[in-house]
Amino acid sequence: MTNAAFTPRVFSGIQPSGGLTLGNYLGALKRFVDMQEVGKYECVYCLVDLHAITVWQDPADLRANTRELAAFFIASGIDPERSILFNQSQVPAHSQLAWIFNTVARMGWMGRMTQWKDKAGKNSENASLGLFAYPALMAADILLYHATHVPVGDDQKQHLELTRDVAAKFNHDYGVDFFPITEPVIEGPATRVMSLRDGTKKMSKSDPSDMSRINMSDDADTIAQKFRKARTDPEPLPGTYEELKDRPSARNLVDIFAALSERSHADVVAEVEGMQWGTFKPLLADLAVEKLSPISSEMTRLMADTGEIDRILGKGAERASEIAEPILKKTYEIVGLVQSS
Ligand code: TYM
């Protein structure tokens, strides 16, 4: 069976572990909205709280961050009527399928994950078992919906390859064509937004320097100041994007500009050719403020009504379960855990 036999369905997720950045917006959320707007996919978007707790989360913070993340989705343009928006823990089938995938995935596969190596570091003896098994839960998230397309930032590529391996091994071991071989969708001008202090490092909420990132909660002055102080190099902007190949900090600012203005790299570079950074950075800061400020004020407005957010997530979990339950049931039958009906 090829993927053409499956309903075109998008699945993606973000962890409610606080500290949403411009990387999350450009690499993920903005593209989730684009896929919703294409209109040809059923879109399922998940706040992956079970993934978040693979590292310690204070319970009160987790609750607050979950609502904040839901507000971020909606303020960015996800329509909870057209797309399904819910939190992972409220659909138990995620954990149930993840257990089955824990028996399909191999220790060696997990041990090779760079995210595991980065997060567990030298202290892997002390890391949670959940952190090690994290990619099997991620495979379950995706395959529970027979998702055909998964938009993510570049850092999730290896996890999506593992998801394909899990699907292929399950299909092979049980002699079925049940799970699709999902397509990663790693596209757009900013699939890897880099630190504003060091263009060779990913923009991340865990970087000790707040100047390295734009937080979705930053106000206009802070955004402008961070772009003004962003690392660049002494050369002016070149005439082709290729010339930025060995200038990571400079390229990062062009990538961000292109993604925010919804234009290609080539278009942007043609327009700003020869410009000095002192001229370009204020343009970038103005553009970022214009695009991000309405999102953060809408988030503040939405978060004032937590009851409404909880209602939306509750409804989303019901709709997600309607898709997930029959797929889990069929998986149990294939594995031999229940009789085929
Ligand atoms: P998370 O929560 O770390 O990040 C959420 C999304 O944001 C993207 N992203 C970036 N994109 C570009 N540049 C950056 N600097 C940047 N930082 C973050 C990530 O690539 C991601 O798309 N494992 C996932 C969550 C997950 C998931 C899933 C995703 C769980 N189950 C199923 C897809 C499908 C994660 O930790 O994302």
Q: Which amino acid is at 113?
A: M
Give the C-alpha separation, 119 to 96, whole Å: 25
Q: Could you tell me how many residues make up the chain?
A: 341
Topology given in CATH for the domain delimited by 210-301: Tyrosyl-Transfer RNA Synthetase (1.10.240)
Residue environment code for 123-154, b if the CB has 16+ CB neighbours within 10 A, otherwise e = eeeeeeeebbbbbbbbbbbbbbbbbbbbbbbe
- In order, the DSSP letters of 114-132 are HHHHHHHGGGGGGS-HHHH
Nearest to 85 by CA among 295, 323, 300, 312: 312
Whether residue 341 is predicted with pLDDT greater than 80 in this model: the reply is no
**205 catalytic, yes or no?**
yes
In this prediction, residue 15 carries a pLDDT of 98
pTM, rounded to two decimals? 0.96
Q: What DSSP assignment string belongs to 46-70?
A: EE-HHHHTTS---HHHHHHHHHHHH
- pLDDT for 122 equals 87
Domain 3-191+306-335 classified CATH 3.30.950.10? no
Cβ–ligand 1 distance for 199 under 6 Å, the answer no
Pocket probe mutation, ligand 1, options 15, 68, 138, 152, max atoms within 8 Å of Cβ: 152
pLDDT at 340: 83
Assess whether pLDDT exceeds 60 at residue 138: yes
For the stretch 205-257, pLDDT in tens is 999 999 999 999 999 999 999 999 999 999 999 999 999 999 999 999 999 99
Between CA 178 and CA 170 the distance in angstroms is 8
Domain ranges of the chain: 3-191+306-335, 210-301
**Residues 6+ away with beta carbon under 8 Å from 63:** none
Q: How confident is the model over 2-25, as pLDDT tens digits?
A: 666 899 999 999 999 999 999 999
Query: Could you give the percent of the chain with pLDDT greater than 90?
Result: 97
Beta bridge partners, 183, equal 149
CB-based contact 180:146 (threshold 8 Å): yes
The response to whether residue 141 sits with its C-beta less than 6 Å from ligand 1 reads yes
Cα of 279 vs centre of ligand 1, distance in Å, is 32
pLDDT above 70: residue 165: yes
Residue range 248-276, pLDDT digits in tens = 999 999 999 999 999 999 999 999 999 99
Q: Note the pLDDT tens digit of each residue in 289-322.
A: 999 999 999 999 999 999 999 999 999 999 999 9
202 is catalytic: yes
